Homo-oligomer: A and B are copies of this chain.
Amino acid sequence: MEQVKLLGFWYSPFSHRVEWALKIKGVKYEYIEEDRNNKSSLLLQSNPIHKKIPVLIHNGKPICESMVIVEYIDETFEGPSILPKDPYDRALARFWAKFLDDKVVTMVNTFLRKGEEKEVCEMLKVLDNELKDKKLFVGDKFGFADMAANFVGLWLGIFQEASGIVLVTSEKFSNFCAWRDEYVNCSQVKEYLPPRNDELLAFFQGQVRTYAAASASTLK
């Protein structure tokens, strides 16, 4: 019998990508909430390189890195395909997933920690240009790149609300905002995203205060 465990944080876009893939495939799994301040020995043993969630443990074997896990789920379990079938569309999906997973996350983190707007705005401009007249990043079928887009689709707005810093406006990034409104409200996405509720907002407000305190102590 298949044994599937997922180690995650309830508020993490990276955990949610993996849950999304498991749900699309109809895979039954045990979700184990980790404590970021006191990571379990199972997590530390399963991901000794990064010591980070998410980790999928399938029949005792750990797999790390959210989009690597999503590809593994796509290749291992029956059910609707997450990556497109055509090799060129697959390459486009991997290209955008990489951009959304690496570059965007790095830039938003740099912005949150250091307040440097320039790079994150350039990146938003790239997305804004790309999303002109587009509903999805690749083709007309929801999939791999759209899962990687959950960070900009939902979490970026929560960070904005939590920090009070208005980075994304529909005047500056109209295509991106139009895409985002459709993304969070379409049935293929809505079902798999956590509700944008007070609990999620309160968590990231706490994070913002922690960053601010860390920055202030650095300046002392």
Please report A residues at the B interface, Cβ cutoff 8 Å.
Answer: 49, 58, 61, 63-65, 68-69, 71-72, 75-76, 87-88, 90-91, 94-95, 98-99, 102, 126, 130
Which B residue sits closest to A97, measured CB to CB?
A: B68
Known contacts A49-B126, A61-B88, A88-B61, A95 near B68 by CB under 8 Å: yes
Cβ contact of A71, chosen from B91, B99, B126, cutoff 8 A? B91
Assuming A63-B91, A68-B91, A72-B91, what are 15 further A-B pairs, CB within 8 angstroms?
Answer: A49-B99, A49-B130, A58-B88, A63-B88, A64-B95, A65-B94, A65-B95, A65-B98, A68-B95, A68-B98, A71-B90, A72-B87, A72-B88, A75-B90, A76-B87
Q: Are B99 and A102 in contact (CB under 8 A)?
A: no
Which B residue sits closest to A98, measured CB to CB?
A: B65
Which residues of chain B come closer than 8 Å to A58, judged between CB atoms? 88
Which B residue sits closest to A88, measured CB to CB?
A: B61
Which residues of chain B come closer than 8 Å to A71, judged between CB atoms? 90-91, 94
Rounded to whole Å, the gap between the CB of A90 and the closest CB of chain B is 7
Rounded to whole Å, the gap between the CB of A25 and the closest CB of chain B is 13
Which residues of chain B come closer than 8 Å to A99, judged between CB atoms? 49
Which residues of chain B come closer than 8 Å to A98, judged between CB atoms? 65, 68
Rounded to whole Å, the gap between the CB of A2 and the closest CB of chain B is 13
